[in-house]
Amino acid sequence: MSFQPYVPPEQLMKDRSEYARKGISRGKSVVALEYADGLLFLAENPSSTLHKISEIYDRIAFAGVGKYSEFEDLRISGVRLADLRGYSYGREDVTAKTLANAYSQALSAIFTTQMKPYEVEILVGQVGERPEENELFHILFDGSVADEKGFVGMGGRSDELTGHLRDSYRAGESLEGAVRLAAKALSDTEDRPIDAPKLEAAVMDRTRGRRKFRRLDDSEVAEILSSSSVEGGKPPP
Partner 1 sequence: MTGLGAGPGGRPFLFGSNPSFADLVAGSAPDAPGSPPPVQSHGEQPAATYSHGTTVLALKYADGVIMAGDRRAVEGFTIADERIEKVFPADEHSAVAIAGAAGQATEIVRLFQTELEHYEKVEGERLSMEGKANRLAQMIRGNFPMALQGLVVVPLFGGFDERRAEGRLFRYDVTGGRWEEADYHSTGSGSLHARGTLKKGWRRGLERTAAVQLAVEALYDASQEDVATGGPNPLRGIYPSVKAMTAAGVEIVPEDEVRAAFQTIVGETHEGVVGGGSQAKEDPD
Residues that bind partner 1 (CB under 8 A): 49, 51, 54-56, 73-74, 76-77, 79-80, 83-84, 86-88, 106, 109-110, 113-114
Q: What are phi and psi of 226, to 5 degrees?
A: -70, -25
DSSP character for 35?
A: E
In this structure, how many other beta carbons lie within 10 angstroms of the beta carbon of residue 234? 10
* Shortest separation between residue 86's beta carbon and partner 1, angstroms: 7
Residue with smaller CB distance to partner 1, 61 or 196? 61
**Interacting residues of 67 by C-beta distance below 8 A, sequence separation 6+:** 23, 27, 118, 119, 120
Residue with smaller CB distance to partner 1, 51 or 198? 51
Residue with smaller CB distance to partner 1, 54 or 189? 54
d(CA 164, CA 80): 35
* Shortest separation between residue 69's beta carbon and partner 1, angstroms: 10
Residue with smaller CB distance to partner 1, 81 or 183? 81
Q: What are phi and psi of 100, to 5 degrees?
A: -60, -40
d(CA 27, CA 67): 8
Residue with smaller CB distance to partner 1, 44 or 55? 55
* Shortest separation between residue 61's beta carbon and partner 1, angstroms: 11
- 3-class secondary structure, 65: strand
* Shortest separation between residue 83's beta carbon and partner 1, angstroms: 5
Residue (of 54, 41, 30, 31) closest to 175 by Cα position = 41
| Contact between residue 200 and residue 62 where contact means Cβ atoms under 8 Å apart | no
* Shortest separation between residue 74's beta carbon and partner 1, angstroms: 7
Residue with smaller CB distance to partner 1, 29 or 54? 54
Q: What are phi and psi of 146, to 5 degrees?
A: -125, 135
* Shortest separation between residue 114's beta carbon and partner 1, angstroms: 6
